[in-house]
Amino acid sequence: MKKRILLGITGSIAAYKTPELIRKLKEQHHDVRVVLTSCGKAFVTPLTLQAVSQHKVYEELVDAEAEAAMSHIDLARWPECILIAPATAHVIAKLAHGFADDLLSTLCLASNTRLIIAPAMNQAMWSNRATRDNVAKLKERDCLFIGPGEGSQACGEFGLGRMLEPQEIVDVLSKVFIKPYLQNQRILITAGQTQECIDPVRYLSNRSSGKMGFALAQAAIEAGAEVTLISGPVALTPPKKLKFIPVKTAAEMLAAVEREISQQTIFISTAAVADYQVVNPALQKIKKSSAPLTLQLKPTVDILATVSQMNLEARPLLIGFAAETEYTLKFAEEKRRSKNIDLMVVNDVSQTDIGFDSDKNEVTVLSSDVPIHLACASKQSIAQQLLQIAANRMLSTKKNANTPL
């Protein structure tokens, strides 16, 4: 997933968003180098961009110091994609007509890599026939346009022309960079919490938001897999292009898994299934009183362990999740071994900035090999990395199976 990205920053007020864009790209483990035009320098400083990118910022076409380190021709050969964000109407016009009068336009003309453009301009400039013709020319050359978005603009007007937010740009790039490495794979994912009734208005549950499971489902679709998502109650919209099965209780989730598990090549159990259920749920609402209330609980069925013990024609790759608050690796490894699963993904939910309702996560993947630590990143990024690990594991298993004794 790691890519070498050359980011071109031009003279738009939207340039103030670029330090955040660079930070988010680096969170995805991309190597980012920056080319700053003379007009772009009026809105964001080279020092700021150097600090966030951790690389020298390139500004001049003829620069003796830069030539000694990396010539503009070498720089044109370095990236796997060139992203221009923000891209003004002027720069789009230069690119459309093949001008090469500064470093950025020269690099674009000298490079054979994919050109991705995030426009930023006044809504009247974006809708102008000249701009539309220039955009059409670049699209004919396989340039990808991200945006623009619609909204209030710095000039006080409203309409199409504003640069997309950094996270929106990163999300689009993630989809562009993904190859369909999970094509022909069928993946079953459980997500969210389950709810075990106490009475008609109360239930036992947990704080799971379902975000990690839904991120995995989206990433699997983008990687070409056929996805089935079984989810407990969550406040999320299911991704498109998958089979979605809503459930409420642990028993309902288990029944759905048992119906769907055959023919699956990967089973990912991200759901935070309730560990206990009430033995005899009340048929009517339990009235509040001053007396203590005792509930008799019994364990729910362990879905992942049940699947592991099934006599399936072809055993899928089994991936579990363990949310721990102490001795995280020790407890997670014990679960992996006792349930006989291939990969156990563990995160420390005592950290308030990751897991549960957070949009970020930090995990360690346990297997029979060396643990793999995935640093704190967006759950979408973690999902993509986990699926790559799963794909590599399947490939390794297949190679070992084909190796003669």
| Helix %, strand %, coil % of the chain (to 5) | 35, 25, 40
Q: Which of 305, 233, 220 is nearest to 269 (CA)?
A: 305
| Phi, psi dihedrals of residue 289, rounded to the nearest 5° | -145, 175
Considering 108, 155, 197, 376, which one is annotated as catalytic? 155
Structure tokens belonging to residue 92? 């789009």
Which DSSP string corresponds to 194-210? Answer: --EEEETTEEE-----S
Burial of 91 (0-12, 13-18, 19+ CB in 10 A): buried
Residue with tokens 């005592």: 350
The residue written with tokens 């991704």 in the block is 239
Structure-block tokens of residue 83: 């992203």
Secondary structure of 145-202 in the HEC alphabet? ECCCEEEECCCCCEEEEECCCHHHHHHHHHHHHCCCCCCCCEEEEEECECCEEEECCE
Contacts of 288 (CB under 8 A, 6+ apart): none
50: phi > 0 → left, psi -120 to 50 → alpha, else beta; which?
alpha
155 is catalytic: yes
**CA torsion angle for 313, 338, 345, 332 (degrees, to 10)?**
180
Separate counts of helices (H) and strands (E) for the chain = 14, 19
Active site residues: 155
